[in-house]
C-alpha cells in the first residue's frame, strides 16, 4: 500500500504539499517515477518542472540520500530502512482540463501530473488523505470514505482527477443501471432537466452501438470559467471539461458543451478501452509512439458529432455545422499537402498539438474525421446500408478491448476494408497515409446519401480578400497563416509579421470591421523584425471553402441510405 497525504497552506501561492509513505520491502534503493506524459494527451511533457522541493526520510525522520537520474525519475538509497516518506510540493496554477490548480476556491488535481509510482510496484493500491476545509466537497471517481480516496494501481490513479470545493453542483442520470455523474465547479446555472435529457439520449446511443459500457460508473467534471474557454480530456471512468463563460453554457455555448461531452464519452471506448498495441500497456517513462491518432481522434471527432445527430440531440443544422467546421479547418491548413494524417499523429508526441512551422503538418482531428466520414459512407455504399463505421468500432471493441489486447494499424485498416472494399483501401492510401486532395473522393462518397459540396467564400475577410489569417496578441495584429501563392504570399508577407496600419491609419477595433468598407485594393503597413513598409494588396478570393448541402433532387435510394446514415 502506498499512502499519500495532500494538504496546502497559502492557496494563493498555488503550491500543493504532498507526503508519500510506504514500506521499502527491504530493497537497497527505490525509484520514484513521475510520468513523462499523460493519457488523454499524447505528447511528451515535463510535469516535474513544477516541483519546487523534494526530500526523502526514513521511519525515524532521518534524511535519506537521493538523486534525480532522469527529468522525472528520483532514486533513493534505502539500505537497512523499513519505511520511507517522500515529501515534495507541486506548483498548481494551470487551469485547463488536464493539469492542476489551487486557489482560495478549489483544489483541483490531475494525479498524473503530480503523484508518483514506485518502479516495479505500479499495480499497488493507493490511499489518499485530503486535508481540506471542512465545508469542501470532493468530486472523484475513486472510492471515497470521508476525506480518504483509494484506488488500485497507478493506471487508474493517473486517470482519476480530484476536485475539492465548497461550490460544487452535482446531479446524476442512469442508463442501463450505470450511474453517470455531472459535477459543475465554477459559477453557472445548470438546467438539470435539459442536461439529463440530452445526455441520456446520446449516452444511450453510444452504448447501443457498442453493445456495452467499459466501466461501472462515469463522471463528467466541468471546470466552468468566467471567460471563454473550451477543452476536454478523456479518462477511463471520467472526463474533465473546461468551458466558459459560465453564463453562456446553457445557451450560446450549449452546442459546444454537448459536442465536447459526446466526444469525450466516446473516448471511453475509443482509446481508453480500444487502445493501440503501442500503448498496451502504457509506458509512462517515454513517448508511446503510434500513428493511429486518426483512429483515436479522427473516429472520435466524427462519431461524437454523429452520435448527437442520430440520438436526436442535434438536428441536421447543428450536425452539419460541425462538419463544415471540420472542412474549413482542413481547407485552411496547407500542411495537408506536406505531412499525412498518420505521420502528423506520430509527430504529436514530439511537438504536441501545435501546427509548428507553417504548413508543416495536418491534424488528427478535423482531417482524420473527414477521412472517417469517407470510410463510413463507403461502407454504407458497399454493404447497401447493412454496415457502417459503427460495425468497425464494435468489432474492435469485441475483438480487442474485451480481450484485453491492443490493435495495430493493419488491424484497423483490414477491418475497414473488409466492410468497405477497395474504395476504403484507397482512402487509407491516398489520404490517411498520403497527402492527396480530399475533395474529389469526399464528393464521390457523399453522393451515396445525396449530399453535395457547394463552394462558398471564406467569411473571414482577411482570408478571403488577401489569403492571410490573423490574430490579436497583446493588442497587436499578427499574421498567423498565409495561403501559398496568395496575393499576400506573392508580396513577401509571412506568418508572424505584424500589421500596424491599414490604408495609413492605425488599427482601431477589429480588422474585419475595417475591411468591410474596403474596395479593390488595401494598403497594409507590415512590420517585420528589421523593417516596416507599406504594401498595397489587391482584393481577391482566397482560402476558398466548401460546405455540405443536401441535394434537392436526391434519388429514392440516396434518401434511404441517408436515413440509414443519420439514424444508424
State the CATH architecture for 168-268: Orthogonal Bundle (1.10)
**What are the pLDDT digits (tens) for 417-465?**
999 999 999 999 999 999 999 999 999 999 999 999 999 999 999 999 9
pLDDT at 346: 95
| pLDDT band of 275, cuts 50, 70, 90 | very high
Candidates 48, 49, 79, 51; CA nearest to 66 is 79
pLDDT at 453: 98
Q: Give 274's Cβ-side CA count (13 Å radius).
A: 26
Provide the CATH topology of domain 461-538.
Answer: Pdz3 Domain (2.30.42)
State the CATH architecture for 2-165: Sandwich (2.60)
Do 168-268 and 461-538 fold alike per CATH? Answer: no
- The whole model's pTM is what? 0.97
Length of the chain, please? 568
What percent of the chain has a predicted confidence (pLDDT) above 90? 97
pLDDT at 458: 96
Cell numbers placing 128: 489518499
Q: What whole-number distance in Å separates Cα of residue 389 and Cα of residue 397?
A: 13
pLDDT at 222: 98
DSSP one-letter string for 501-551 = EETTEE--S-HHHHHTT--SEEEEEEE-SS-EEEEEEE----S-EEEEEE-
* Domain regions of the chain by residue span: 2-165, 168-268, 275-451+553-568, 461-538
| Least confident stretch, 124-128, 138-142, 157-161, 358-362 | 358-362
Distances (CA, A) of 387 to 57, 379, 412, 568: 61, 6, 16, 9
**What are the pLDDT digits (tens) for 388-411?**
999 999 999 999 999 999 999 999
Provide the CATH topology of domain 275-451+553-568.
Answer: Neutral Protease; domain 2 (1.10.390)
Q: What whole-number distance in Å separates Cα of residue 413 and Cα of residue 541?
A: 38
Q: Return the C-alpha torsion angle 427, 432, 433, 436, nearest 10.
A: 70
Amino acid at each position: 500500500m502506498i499512502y499519500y497525504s495532500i494538504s496546502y497552506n497559502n492557496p494563493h501561492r498555488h503550491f500543493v504539499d504532498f507526503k508519500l509513505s510506504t514500506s521499502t520491502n527491504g530493497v537497497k534503493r527505490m525509484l520514484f517515477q513521475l510520468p513523462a506524459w499523460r493519457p488523454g494527451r499524447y505528447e511528451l511533457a515535463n510535469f516535474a518542472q513544477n516541483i519546487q522541493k523534494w526530500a526523502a526520510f526514513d521511519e525515524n525522520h532521518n534524511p535519506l540520500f537521493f538523486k534525480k537520474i532522469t527529468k522525472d525519475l528520483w532514486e533513493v538509497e534505502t539500505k537497512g530502512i523499513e519505511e520511507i516518506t517522500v515529501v515534495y510540493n507541486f506548483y498548481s496554477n494551470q487551469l485547463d482540463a488536464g493539469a492542476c490548480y489551487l486557489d482560495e476556491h478549489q483544489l483541483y488535481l490531475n494525479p498524473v501530473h503530480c503523484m508518483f509510482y514506485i518502479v516495479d510496484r505500479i499495480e499497488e493500491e493507493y490511499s489518499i488523505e485530503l486535508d481540506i476545509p471542512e465545508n469542501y466537497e470532493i468530486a472523484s471517481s475513486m472510492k471515497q470514505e470521508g476525506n480518504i480516496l483509494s484506488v488500485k494501481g497507478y493506471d487508474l490513479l493517473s486517470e482519476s482527477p480530484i476536485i475539492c470545493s465548497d461550490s460544487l453542483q452535482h446531479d446524476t442520470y442512469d442508463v442501463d443501471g450505470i450511474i453517470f455523474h455531472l459535477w459543475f465547479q465554477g459559477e453557472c446555472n445548470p438546467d438539470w432537466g435539459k442536461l439529463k435529457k440530452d445526455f441520456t439520449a446520446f449516452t444511450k446511443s453510444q452504448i447501443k452501438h457498442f453493445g456495452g459500457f467499459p466501466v461501472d460508473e462515469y463522471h463528467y467534471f466541468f471546470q466552468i470559467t468566467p471567460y471563454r474557454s473550451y477543452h476536454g480530456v478523456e479518462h477511463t471512468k471520467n472526463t474533465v471539461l473546461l468551458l466558459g463563460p459560465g453564463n453562456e453554457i446553457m445557451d450560446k455555448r450549449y452546442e459546444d458543451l454537448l459536442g465536447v461531452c459526446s466526444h469525450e464519452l466516446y473516448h471511453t471506448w475509443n482509446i481508453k478501452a480500444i487502445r493501440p498495441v503501442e500503448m498496451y500497456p502504457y509506458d509512462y517513462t517515454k513517448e508511446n509512439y503510434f500513428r493511429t491518432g486518426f483512429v483515436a481522434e479522427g473516429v472520435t471527432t466524427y462519431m461524437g458529432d454523429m452520435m448527437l445527430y442520430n440520438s436526436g440531440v442535434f438536428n441536421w443544422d447543428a450536425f452539419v455545422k460541425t462538419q463544415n467546421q471540420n472542412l474549413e479547418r482542413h481547407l485552411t491548413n496547407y500542411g495537408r499537402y506536406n505531412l499525412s494524417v498518420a505521420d502528423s499523429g506520430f509527430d504529436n508526441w514530439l511537438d504536441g498539438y501545435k501546427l509548428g512551422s507553417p504548413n508543416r503538418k495536418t491534424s488528427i482531428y478535423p482531417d482524420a474525421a473527414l477521412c472517417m466520414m469517407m470510410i463510413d459512407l463507403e461502407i454504407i455504399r458497399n454493404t447497401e446500408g447493412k454496415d457502417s463505421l459503427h460495425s468497425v468500432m464494435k468489432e474492435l471493441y469485441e475483438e480487442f478491448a474485451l480481450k484485453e489486447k491492443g490493435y495495430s494499424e493493419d488491424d484497423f485498416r483490414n477491418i475497414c476494408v473488409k466492410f468497405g472494399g477497395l474504395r476504403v483501401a484507397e482512402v487509407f492510401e491516398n489520404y490517411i497515409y498520403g497527402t492527396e486532395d480530399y475533395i474529389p473522393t469526399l464528393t464521390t462518397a457523399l453522393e451515396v446519401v445525396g449530399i453535395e459540396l457547394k463552394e462558398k467564400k471564406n467569411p473571414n475577410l482577411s482570408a478571403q480578400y488577401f489569403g492571410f489569417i490573423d490574430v490579436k496578441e497583446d493588442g497587436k495584429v499578427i499574421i498567423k497563416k498565409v495561403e501559398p501563392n496568395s496575393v499576400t504570399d506573392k508580396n513577401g508577407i509571412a506568418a508572424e509579421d505584424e500589421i500596424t496600419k491599414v490604408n495609413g491609419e492605425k488599427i482601431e477595433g477589429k480588422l474585419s470591421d475595417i475591411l468591410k468598407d474596403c474596395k479593390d485594393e488595401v494598403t497594409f503597413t507590415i512590420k517585420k523584425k528589421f523593417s516596416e513598409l507599406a504594401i498595397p494588396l489587391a482584393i481577391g478570393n482566397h482560402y476558398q471553402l466548401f460546405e455540405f448541402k443536401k441535394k434537392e433532387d436526391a434519388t429514392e435510394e440516396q434518401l434511404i441510405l441517408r436515413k440509414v446514415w443519420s439514424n444508424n
